[in-house]
Amino acid sequence: MGTGILTLDEIEQLARDRLRRAGASERQATAVARSMRLAERDGIVSHGLMYLPVYTDHLRCGKVLGNAVPVVTRRRAGAVRVDAAHGFAHAAIDAGWAEFTDAVRKQGVAAMALHNSYNCGVLGHHAERLAEAGLVGLCFTHAPASIAPVGGKIPVIGTNPFALAVPDGRSSALLVIDQSASVIAKSEILLRAREGKAIEPNWALGADGQPTTDAKAALAGSMLPAGGQKGFGVGLMAEIFAAALAGANLSTEASPFSGSDGGPPGTGQFFVGFDPQAFSGDGFGAAMSRLACSITDQDGARLPGARRALNRARTETGGVRVDQTLLDRIKAA
């Protein structure tokens, strides 16, 4: 299988160009292309160029509306709401960002909720964006139902991740926690199904509720939550914030992110920002430094997000290796 080396600028330009050709507005395409650049930069290939053919297909079939114009409202001093208008979440997040962060700084804590939305890419990047502004970011998103409750076999919630990022006092993030409710990302099972490869036995259940190593059977069944009941609880928490509180479709009501059936999924996101100065002042940074050192001072231990930082150092100078088959799929799409 051949590979090519692309710079991050080339990846962003390729993504933006293909999205524009598929019907995305400049605003929508620019926001999504930047997200794909960041994913490839950090080595998160499941949310990088691999997703581009899906996005272009969804633009063409109307699952996501390329000319959507987000609408921002502020119902209370610390409550920002964005109607993504069935466009990409990325553009809707950008639309509400300045008002959201302004509310955080004025109130000490504020939230931004999105509805009529779509996939938002790597959730941790949005939390990290808050950390880069000197704020603590706590973010939730949800997805079409793919995880059944423990003891059941009918999916109720999506892979539903949450992300938390903490500032380091130097316009960057000290750490980034970004984890989903499932044992493995659904994109990994989709990739295995496409390649005809088996999955691990603890990743998913078939439609009969029994463990399976068949990727296609897993897609027809349900993902397993990480940590059993505890993982389902984490996913349920994300569902409450990103779907119910945001006013979006529940995961059981959202159309799939894969395929062309069902129209726009109408999912949501929920972001909370905290200004440390409103609570513990400079003491927060000092406490986080001590906490981080208690981890990094141990041989072999690292802070959450450290692997992404290492990938950045490599890709920003050496570029990204992209499979030729993927590039061919992107060109064909």
Quote the pLDDT of residue 2: 63
CA distance 36 to 27: 15
Examine the residue annotation and report whether 222 is marked as an active-site residue of this protein.
no
211 within some domain: no
Alpha helices for the chain (secondary structure H): 8-21, 26-41, 52-61, 89-107, 123-132, 186-195, 215-220, 229-239, 282-296, 306-318, 324-332
From first to last of the 333 residues of the chain, give the pLDDT tens digit.
467 899 999 999 999 999 999 999 999 999 999 999 999 999 998 899 999 999 999 999 999 999 999 999 999 999 999 999 999 999 999 999 999 999 999 999 999 999 999 999 999 999 999 999 999 999 999 999 999 999 888 999 999 999 999 999 999 999 999 999 999 888 788 888 888 999 999 999 998 889 999 999 999 899 999 999 999 999 999 999 999 999 999 999 999 998 888 999 999 999 999 999 999 999 999 999 999 999 999 999 999 999 999 999 899 999 999 989 899 889 887
71 within some domain: yes
Nearest C-alpha neighbor of 208 from the set 189, 222, 196: 222
220 within some domain: no
287 within some domain: no
Nearest C-alpha neighbor of 90 from the set 36, 169, 52, 143: 36
CA distance 47 to 45: 5
Choose, from 40, 47, 180, 239, the residue flagged as catalytic: 47
**276 φ/ψ angles, rounded to the nearest 5 degrees:** -55, -30
Going by their DSSP bridges, the two strands 136-141 and 109-117 should be labelled as unpaired
Examine the residue annotation and report whether 188 is marked as an active-site residue of this protein.
yes
Q: pTM for the whole thing?
A: 0.94
CB 221 within 8 A of CB 205: yes
CB 302 within 8 A of CB 296: yes
Enumerate the β-bridge partners of residue 117: 267
Choose, from 188, 200, 255, 258, the residue flagged as catalytic: 188
CB 181 within 8 A of CB 161: yes
Overall domain count for the chain:
1
CA distance 319 to 315: 4
Quote the pLDDT of residue 260: 87
Number of residues written out for the chain: 333
104 within some domain: yes
CA distance 18 to 23: 9
CATH number of the domain encompassing residue 325: 3.30.1370.60
17 within some domain: yes
CA distance 284 to 290: 10
202 within some domain: no
Amino acid occupying residue 41: R
Nearest C-alpha neighbor of 126 from the set 78, 168, 89: 89
206 within some domain: no
CA distance 265 to 257: 7
Quote the pLDDT of residue 332: 84
Long-range contacts of 189-195 (CB under 8 A, 24+ apart): 189/215, 189/218, 189/219, 189/223, 190/215, 190/219, 190/258, 191/46, 191/50, 193/218, 193/219
Range of the domain at 29: 3-182+225-281+306-332
